[in-house]
Structure 1
Amino acid sequence: MKNWFSWLTAVVTLIVLITSCKDGKGSKGSFEIGDKTFLLNGKPFVVKAAEIHYTRIPAEYWEHRIKMCKALGMNTICIYAFWNIHEQKPDEFDFSGQNDVAAFCKLAQKHDMYIILRPGPYVCAEWEMGGLPWWLLKKKDIQLRTNDPYFLERTRLFINQMGKQLADRQITRGGNIIMVQVENEYGSYATDKEYIAHIRDMVKGAGFTDVPLFQCDWSSNFTNNALDDLLWTVNFGTGADIDQQFKKLKELRPNTPLMCSEFWSGWFDHWGRKHETRDAATMVNGIKEMLDRNISFSLYMTHGGTTFGHWGGANSPAYSAMCSSYDYDAPISEAGWATEKYHILREALAAYMPAGEKQSEVPEAFPVIEIPEITFTSVAPLFDNLPQPKESTDIRPMEQFDQGWGSILYRTTLPEEVKEGTSLVITEVHDWAQVFADGQLLARLDRRRGENVVKLPALKAGTRLDILVEAMGRVNFDKAIHDRKGITEKVELVSGDTSAELKNWKVYSFPVDYGFVKDKAFKEGSKQDGPAYYRATFNLDKTGDVFLDMQTWGKGMVWVNGKAMGRFWEIGPQQTLFMPGCWLKKGENEIIVLDLKGPEKAAIRGVNKPILDVLRQEVPTTHRKEGQTLDLSKEKVWFAGSFKPGNGWQEITFEKPMKIRQFCLEALSSQDGKEVASMAEFYLLGSDGKPLSRQHWQIGYADSEEIKSGNRTADKIYDLQESTFWQTVQGTPYPHTVVIDLREEQTVSGLRYLPRAEQGTPGMIKDFRVYGKMTPFSY
């Protein structure tokens, strides 16, 4: 009987082991909030998390990247879940293959890594529309990230689907999820605790009830929406004054575990701006400082990866789309390589391993190959391959034609003769447009520069007018996420005081689906002057990771073996596209390129290193024309004052309000007595004392902007990112001036100023003067 019982016990144990292996689960545990510490299975635990995104890594490489994070000395993987990639059409959910988030979590558990889940619904992440689905914008009056009933209904459906995938993967149920986030950095969007409570309740309702729920924000705004029953964490970047970042949180919750839920290792790249990097030693010093104080952290990003296809987002104001590479200057490069920053960090984290444990070995990188030049001899001009049109009396945005991404062509005929010099005014172009008359290119318009007017030549009645608009990434931050694509309002002919709206449009949609792209009438040919698809094949004896060199091409997208690799744009700084070897094959491979502008040479080669820092800027990125100097000698000083030294926001109220369109801040001196001035964020206060919207602001002038060592132009003062800043050039003495064009009449009663977050607030302004007027300043 005893032997039989032992045999039965062994069989049951074996069944449990087999089942747990099949489910990717282990023994049940716990993760809780203790007194000034997290508790893992009842014992103090410091979270050392590596943020990586499963959608930005080929599924075939997930395990490699997880092992790279573990070899650093991390114990947790932090992930966003991107609603819009899982529900690309309403009620059609996809959690398979590249989207199999549960499989990703199982792989992490296989390597003894915990998971912090951040399901949104909004995630930012420099991702298309911050992770929200484009089809929400089909509802004209929708208010995203609010208590809008339709938005909440759709959010609940998505969060419930996340629960079906992952709720049983909480640590209490044998999985590895130890924390779940509620919304994301909402304090930078609005103040609405009721909304946050709704999202919290949805997360709980989806089954995430066994582990701590938390909300993350910046130290300057985390109290705006802080709920009593959630854990509060703070986000900040390398070089930040860590004591200052946690000061308020420690005052409000002296016994809470402290965590930097996003410690920014680098930064993301924009088309047309300098490649971003951050200092490795500064990053490591910040991590060591936190670990020495028992502060948990998540390194955003530990591995950025690639924003494949059309999924890159954009910032606003001013509109600026993201590159396809999400390298982020992270410790693990876009291709999964261990960088110098990786090795410096790994060496530092070796001192913080649990007693008796050592870091695992760094896995080898995947093989890299080169591909000889591929010449394209098959071409399909876009205007010769038009799909079936839809007809519309009025201009409507892309979403109203049930199109989410890609390009859209608006076509009409001119009802009357147009005189030379007449303006074609497009309200608004989202995001890059080409205007043609009877097939001849008249102009290109770029939303980044606020371009929306074309001066027309003389045109006959009946002339065919084509406006081809490429949708770049939807804005992923602040209220501008209501970012409809195509032409959003109307097209007018304006001459003098008269205007006439153009009507009766034929509309052609060009989506990014491979099925649409491949179905073209390719014919023999090479370089085209206008928009066209190009197709070629190439043969490989062996596969490996490679970088497609796009330096001879204009602007568009690339597909290889049916997979959308990403966007390219000649302006840079990114000039190559990462091509994972796992998506190549021995023998014949297919490549298709859509170039909306036209290449210098229709050829691509595969190189063994990325090119992420070659910028071909068509116009200066600074806000001061050559020889231009602001003249304030005849202007009235509206207010003079001084900022107090120290980190954090400062608010100044003017003695009396002023009605203005143009605002000038003249910095007279610095707190440290040096020549450099800097500013992280800046607001003007309205007549009610609340911050005015900055969505349409433009920098009219800045006397000095540092662009050699980083992107430190004056528009950083309203880019909604507290870790970016305007900085003047070393050796340029005070005073320093910046002029803001508000673009509408506003009543201004004061200002808010945020210096840089680093200890000592380098470049912080001391004494200043304020000017304001309705008309432009003199230069």
Structure 2
Amino acid sequence: MIGDPDFLLDGEPFRILSGAIHYFRVHPEQWADRIRKARQMGLNTIETYIAWNVHEPVKGEWDAAGWNDLGAFLDAVAAEGMYAIVRPGPYICAEWTNGGLPVWLTADPQMRLRSSEPGYLAEAVRFLRSVYEIVTPRQIDRGGNVILVQIENEYGAYGDDKAYLAELVGVTRDAGITVPLVTVDQPQPDMLRDGSTPGVHLTGSFGSRAAERLATLRQFQPSGPLMCMEFWDGWFDWWGGAHHTTDPKDAAAELETLLSSGASVNFYMFHGGTNFGLTNGANDKGRYAPLVTSYDYDAPLDEAGSPTAKYFAFRDVIARYAEVSGPAPSAQADAPAFSVDLHDAGDWMPELDATAQRYEKPPTFDELGFTGALVRYDVELPAMPWPQVLAWDEVRDLAWVSVDGGPAIRLSRSRNQHSAVVQPGERLTVLVEDQGRVNYDSRIGEPKGLIGAASLGGAPLTGWRATPIDVEARAAGIAPADGATAPTPGPVALTGEFTLDEQADLFLDTSGWAKGYAFINGFHLGRYWADGPQQTLYVPAPTTVAGTNHLVILELEHTVDPTARFVPRALLGHQEE
């Protein structure tokens, strides 16, 4: 319950000491380990977002099994004797692709996202009802462990549609949610004003200047418990940037300020996990910046579940305000280190379908109803003087332009490149990669692909064919090969095998390759890119087997070193000075 000045549990003051773990970023067989280590740091609660697009990637096809088994995750939290905070959005940000919203939703031009527009609201309500079927019976007042549920997410930074927030509260209460409801916003008066709604408790999100932020929150909300719902204890990385870290001593000092004030806290993140597969989001504050595969976040528990210096610094602070019992977990031993020769399995691009539909202009991924990473566009070139300038309005997000299979020209959205000089030939091919959908503000749901009509030499270029390429399906079709092991131009599939005595966490060093996707035993580890900073991909132990393991690399550009090297620990890149 909401008391003054504390939360109340069984009628007694209760300080929430929580940490964020996103079940969809962690292998289910590792949930229990991560949760236990949170308790060992002194936490009493686990918080998670709910990502709509993992539960309903296809409209009407709800999935709450396996990795998406929210109920099992909440039960695992309860099994450790801990409480839970659920933040279902529907929008979550979280540096997750499309801010957690499904592409089928955001591709509908009639949808006015995060608003009381009837079409959007109807879908959001339907989603929340599905979530609450799982959450309602697990509330604290029904013998479960859920103590708080959040409405929307930092809405004051986006909009001020009070009718929308009221509708979310209504469907939440109608679904049987009786625990306290909260909102979260950065402690700025305009955001707190716009993101709040009557009867819902306000919390803050910040990582520094804790005393000042709490004072602002208190000015706006004179009574009730203070809480930092997102204590930013680290940060995330993007391709072409640096690996971000924060000083453990500075972060611990801010935590001391929070706890000494009597506030509750939720560490964002306690354990970041990984953007496996194609799930990374992207930033765009004037320059598009796709996020890396690792979501290590410089959190107290690193990407592989090992405690960091920050873990122990926080544990020491918490111990001054709450009971911290039992030994702390030990740092994990180095992962096995070994090398595997990779063999050329050939070009993994699909054959061109000469009977495929032709389009006046290149259709977007969204118009094709495709949510994968790659679409290949082909068009026959007209007879004309050469060379010529090829152009579109925009490329989203990375494109390789080639004529008759010749050397490719790379065009990058991040560099605002959307034109190229092409040489004569019969067929132009443009391979386009969706590098991750922007996860906040007005760019949520923007179309992917070649944007706008194409021109060649200033004249319209028409008659395009589009071939969606499902990288997971392509990887599954790659058989073990015994071809040459030499530097290889791409696109090329490479395969290798290695033997383990038992399952083990691994770190795959990708520094000898340019750009592509890696798979272990059919599991999609995620994207790699020589742009860095990330140099290794985390391989969760449950994706390996005792015995023979199969590795598939789908390289888009080229390899310099056709060897897979597994190294003892993560290499997440250089840090900013």
Q: Which interval holds the TM-score relative to the shorter structure? A: over 0.9
Residues 429-508 of structure 1 mapped to structure 2, 5 A cutoff:
429-457=395-423, 459-460=424-425, 463-494=426-457, 499-508=458-467
Does the residue aligned with 1:548 lie in a helix, a strand or coil?
A: strand
**Structure 1 residue 570 corresponds to structure 2 residue 540:** no
Counterpart Cα distance in 1 of 2:540 and 2:334: 9
Name the CA shift for 1:359/1:385 in 2 (closer, same or farther; >3 Å): farther
Name the CA distance, whole Å, in 2 between partners of 1:330 and 1:55. Answer: 17
1:314-372 Cα offsets, whole Å, 9 max, x none, are 0112110111111111111111111111111112211111xxx4423334566653242
1:470 Cα offset (Å): 0.9
Partner of 2:471: 512
Q: Which residue of 1 aligns with 2:301?
A: 332
Q: CA deviation at 1:536?
A: 2.2
1:93 aligns with 2:62: yes
Q: 2:539 aligns with which of 556, 579, 585?
A: 579
Distance (whole Å) between structure 2 residues aligned to residue 248 and residue 173 of structure 1: 35
Residue 82 of structure 1: CA displacement?
A: 0.7
- Which residue, out of 304, 314, 338, partners 2:282? 314
CA distance in 2: counterparts of 1:296 and 1:131, whole angstroms: 26
Matched residue, 1:702: none
- Residue matched to 1:243: 211
Distance 2:136 2:524 in 1: 31
- Seen in structure 2, the aligned counterparts of structure 1 residues 516 and 91 have a Cα distance that, compared at 3 Å, is farther
In structure 2, C-alpha distance between the alignment counterparts of 1:274 and 1:554, rounded to whole Å: 18
Of the three residues 214, 221, 227, the one matched with 1:259 is 227
Equivalent residues of 1:367, 1:544 under 8 A apart? no
**Distance in 2 of aligned mates of 1:389 and 1:123:** 38
- Cα displacement string for residues 8-35 of structure 1 (whole angstroms, at most 9, x for unaligned residues): xxxxxxxxxxxxxxxxxxxxxxxx0011
TM-score, scaled relative to structure 2 = 0.95
State the Cα distance separating 1:291 from its structure 2 match. 1.1
Q: Is residue 606 from structure 1 mapped to residue 566 from structure 2 by the alignment?
A: yes
Q: CA, structure 1 residues 429+206, in 2 after alignment: closer, same or farther (shift >3 Å)?
A: farther
Separation of aligned partners in 1, 2:480 and 2:35: 42
Asked whether the equivalents of residues 350 and 469 of structure 2 are also in contact (C-alpha less than 8 Å), the reply is no
Matched, 1:413 2:413: no
The separation in 2 between residues aligned to 1:172 and 1:246, in whole angstroms, is 29
For residues 561 and 356 of structure 2, the distance between their equivalents in structure 1, rounded to whole angstroms, comes to 31
1:492 is matched by which residue type in structure 2?
Answer: S
Contact 1:575 1:614 in 2 (8 A): no
Structure 2 partner of 1:5: none
The equivalent of 2:267 in structure 1 is: 299
**Change in CA separation of 1:367 and 1:104 when aligned onto 2, cut-off 3 Å:** farther
Deviations 1:397-456 (Å, cap 9, x if unpaired)? 112112102110000011232432x32112221111100011112410111111111123
Q: What is the 5 A alignment of 1:569-648? A: 569-614=529-574
Residues 381, 528 of structure 1: 8 Å contact kept: no
Displacement of 1:141 after TM fit?
A: 3.8
Distance of 2:215 and 2:163 partners within structure 1: 26
SS in 2 for 1:503: coil
**Helix, strand or coil at the partner of 1:223:** helix
Of the structure 1 ranges 595-604 and 258-267, higher mean CA displacement relative to structure 2 is found in 595-604
Cross-structure match for 1:169: 138
Deviation at 1:202, TM superposition (A): 2.6
The answer on whether the counterparts of 2:300 and 2:308 sit within 8 Å (CA) in structure 1 is yes
Deviation at 1:384, TM superposition (A): 5.8
- Determine the structure 2 residue equivalent to 1:132: 101
SS at match of 2:399: strand
Q: What is the distance in 1 between the residues matched to 2:333 and 2:219? A: 51
The answer to whether the 8 A contact 1:394-1:490 is kept is yes
Structure 1 residues 536 and 442, CA, compared in 2 at 3 Å: closer, same or farther?
Answer: closer
Find the counterpart in structure 1 of residue 238 from structure 2: 270
TM-superposed deviation, 1:275: 0.6
In structure 1, the partner of 2:328 is 362
Q: How does 1:47-446 map to 2 (within 5 A)?
A: 47-208=16-177, 210-220=178-188, 221-237=191-207, 240-317=208-285, 318-353=287-322, 357-364=323-330, 368-383=334-349, 385=351, 389-420=356-387, 422-446=388-412
1:391 Cα deviation from its structure 2 partner:
3.3
Q: CA deviation at 1:582?
A: 1.6
Q: Would the aligned equivalents of 1:389 and 1:509 in 2 still touch at CA under 8 Å?
A: no
Q: Please give the TM-score of this superposition, normalised by the length of structure 1.
A: 0.71
Q: Deviations over 1:34-58 (max 9, x none)?
A: 1121101110111111111111111
CA distance in structure 2 between the aligned counterparts of 1:160 and 1:383, rounded to whole angstroms: 41
How far is 1:589 from its partner?
1.1
Structure-2 change in CA distance of 1:549 and 1:390 (3 Å) = farther
Matching residue's letter, 1:412: V
CA 1:390–1:332 in 2, change beyond 3 Å: closer, same or farther? farther
Query: 1: distance between equivalents of 2:123 and 2:447?
Result: 19
Distance in 2 (CA, whole Å) between partners of 1:228 and 1:141 is 29
Q: CA-to-partner distance for each residue in 1:732-751, whole Å, 9 max, x for gaps?
A: xxxxxxxxxxxxxxxxxxxx
CA contact (8 A) 1:368 1:546 kept: no
- 531, 540, 545: which one aligns with 2:491: 531
CA spacing shift, 1:586–1:367, aligned 2, 3 Å = farther
Structure-1 separation of matches of 2:326 and 2:416: 51
Aligned-residue CA RMSD (Å): 1.8
CA 1:150 to 1:525, structure 2 compared with 1: closer, same or farther past 3 Å? farther
Q: Distance in 2 between matches of 1:109 and 1:68?
A: 14
Q: Aligned equivalents of 1:304 and 1:205: distance in 2?
A: 33
Using the TM superposition, give the Cα deviation of residue 614 of structure 1 relative to its aligned residue in structure 2, in angstroms.
4.3
What letter matches 1:427 in structure 2? Answer: D
Which of 1 and 2 has greater Rg?
1
CA distance in 2, matches of 1:525, 1:558: 19
What residue identity is the alignment partner of 1:475?
Answer: V
Q: Is 1:53–1:79's contact at 8 Å kept on the other side of the alignment?
A: yes
Q: 8 Å contact 1:546–1:607 — kept in the other structure?
A: yes
Q: How does 1:659-674 map to 2 (within 5 A)?
A: none
Gaps in structure 2 of 5+ consecutive residues: none
SS at match of 1:338: coil
Offset of residue 224 of structure 1: 1.4
Number of equivalent positions: 571
- Indicate the residue corresponding to 1:743 in structure 2: none
For the Cα contact (< 8 Å) 2:362–2:466, is it kept in 1? no
Does structure 2 conserve the Cα–Cα contact (< 8 Å) formed by 1:432 and 1:469?
A: yes
User: Which residue does the alignment assign to 1:664?
Assistant: none
For 1:722-733, what aligned pairs fall within 5 Å after superposition?
Answer: none
Question: Secondary structure, in 3 states, of the residue corresponding to 2:401?
Answer: strand
Of structures 1 and 2, the one scoring higher in RCO (CA 8 A, sep 6+) is 2
Give 3-state SS (helix, strand or coil) of 2:437's partner: coil
Q: Shift of residue 86 of structure 1?
A: 0.8
Amino acid at match of 1:236: F
Residues 478 and 552 of structure 2 are in contact (CA less than 8 Å); yes or no, is this contact kept in structure 1? no
- Opposite residue 604 of structure 1, the aligned amino acid is A
SS of the aligned residue for 1:130 comes to helix
SS of residue matched to 1:409: strand
CA contact (8 A) 1:162 1:206 kept: no
Relative distance call for 1:386 and 1:364 in structure 2 (3 A) is farther
Give me the whole-angstrom Cα distance separating, in 1, the residues matched to 2:411 and 2:141: 55
Go from structure 1 to structure 2 and tell me whether the alpha carbon gap of 1:309 and 1:338 turns closer, same or farther (over 3 Å shift): same
